[in-house]
């Protein structure tokens, strides 16, 4: 199945006319994962006619304002609109402290069922269909990169089924990888099925280059990563613990990624994004720039 990725915000610390603060939505069946929630995120939902009440999980990379200032408004909106699910909130160490501060800083209206889980490294959560993992990054505060990993699936070769005229509930056993008996003949599941590799999508924001960048991105179908500076401003990138477009492209190439989407762009490149893209493409050709209120499928 196709996995929709919606770019609600693709800017950096200071929003621009074209770019809101960072926030990305990943939709998968009944799960809707919001990665970061910059200021104005809930209005971006409205512009796309999306219902924020469908969000099931919030994954916070770190607690710098451009990644979290939209959380108070989003929580208030969910509560006032009768959000009837449990919202799972994940983030680095300190997330529970900061969430408590958020709830204390204004007169909150309504009730909201939410659970906070602080992550250091490793598995964040797992469902029947996928799991999410995190690795620590190197920034000026505790920071995580996330990887969404769809589980491998057993698929049935429909042409072979048709040829053998196999029908009915017995097909379900093949889908489970079990051998079957049909019209007196034993049929091995491996002869009628194949394994479909699950898709991987990695989210890499706000860090200087480090070994975990390559680990989180490894074999991704899609890497969504910051590209805060061009290599010409490598010293600034190092000073602020960010990645250049060349470094990001190098991560994608070395990690065997299929596609790279550049996001979290600084205001200094407003209307000059082609400089970021040109630099990335020199190292990794299958690169593109993310734009606010656009989407793609993996």
- Known catalytic residues? 66
Residue recorded with tokens 């910059």? 38
Structure tokens at 210: 């480090």
Among 1, 4, 2, CA closest to 296 = 4
Name the 3-class secondary structure at 108: coil
Structure tokens at 87: 């919202």
3-state secondary structure 59-70: ECCCCCHHHHCC
Distance between CA atoms of residues 280 and 226, nearest Å: 11
Among 39, 28, 94, 16, CA closest to 61 = 94
What percent of the residues of the chain are helix, what percent strand, and what percent coil, each to the nearest 5? 30, 30, 40
Residue recorded with tokens 């053998």? 164
- Listed in order, strand segments (DSSP E) in the chain are 4-9, 23-28, 31-35, 57-59, 87-91, 114-118, 122-126, 130-136, 144-150, 153-156, 180-182, 185-187, 193-196, 200-204, 222-226, 260-263, 287-289, 294-297
Distance between CA atoms of residues 28 and 40, nearest Å: 23
Structure tokens at 155: 């698929």
Contact criterion met (CB below 8 Å) for 66 and 21: yes
Structure tokens at 53: 């009440």
Residue recorded with tokens 């990690």? 255
């Amino acid at each position: 199945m196709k996995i929709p990725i919606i770019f609600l915000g693709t800017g950096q610390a200071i929003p621009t006319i074209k770019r809101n603060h960072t926030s990305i939505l990943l939709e998968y069946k009944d799960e809707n994962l919001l990665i970061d929630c910059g200021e104005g995120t809930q209005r971006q939902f409205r512009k796309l006619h999306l219902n924020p009440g469908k969000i099931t999980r919030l994954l916070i990379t770190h607690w710098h304002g451009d990644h979290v200032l939209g959380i108070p408004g989003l929580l208030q909106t969910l509560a006032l609109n009768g959000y009837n699910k449990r919202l799972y909130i994940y983030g680095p160490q300190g997330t529970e402290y900061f969430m408590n501060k958020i709830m204390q800083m204004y007169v909150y209206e309504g009730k909201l069922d939410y659970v906070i889980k602080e992550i250091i490294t490793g598995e964040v959560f797992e469902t029947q269909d996928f799991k999410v993992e995190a690795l620590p990054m190197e920034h000026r505060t505790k920071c995580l990169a996330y990887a969404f990993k769809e589980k491998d699936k057993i698929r049935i070769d429909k042409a072979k089924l048709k040829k053998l005229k196999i029908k009915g509930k017995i097909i379900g056993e093949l889908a489970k990888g079990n051998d079957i008996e049909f019209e007196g003949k034993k049929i091995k599941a491996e002869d009628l099925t194949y394994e479909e590799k699950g898709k991987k999508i990695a989210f890499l924001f706000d860090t200087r280059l480090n070994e975990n960048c390559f680990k989180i991105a490894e074999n991704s179908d899609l890497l969504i990563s910051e590209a805060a500076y061009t290599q010409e401003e490598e010293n600034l990138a190092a000073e602020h613990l960010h990645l250049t477009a060349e470094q990001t492209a190098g991560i994608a190439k070395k990690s065997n990624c299929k596609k790279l989407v550049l996001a979290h762009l600084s205001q200094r490149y407003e209307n000059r994004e082609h400089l970021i893209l040109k630099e990335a493409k020199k190292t990794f050709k299958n690169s593109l720039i993310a734009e606010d209120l656009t989407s793609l499928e993996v």
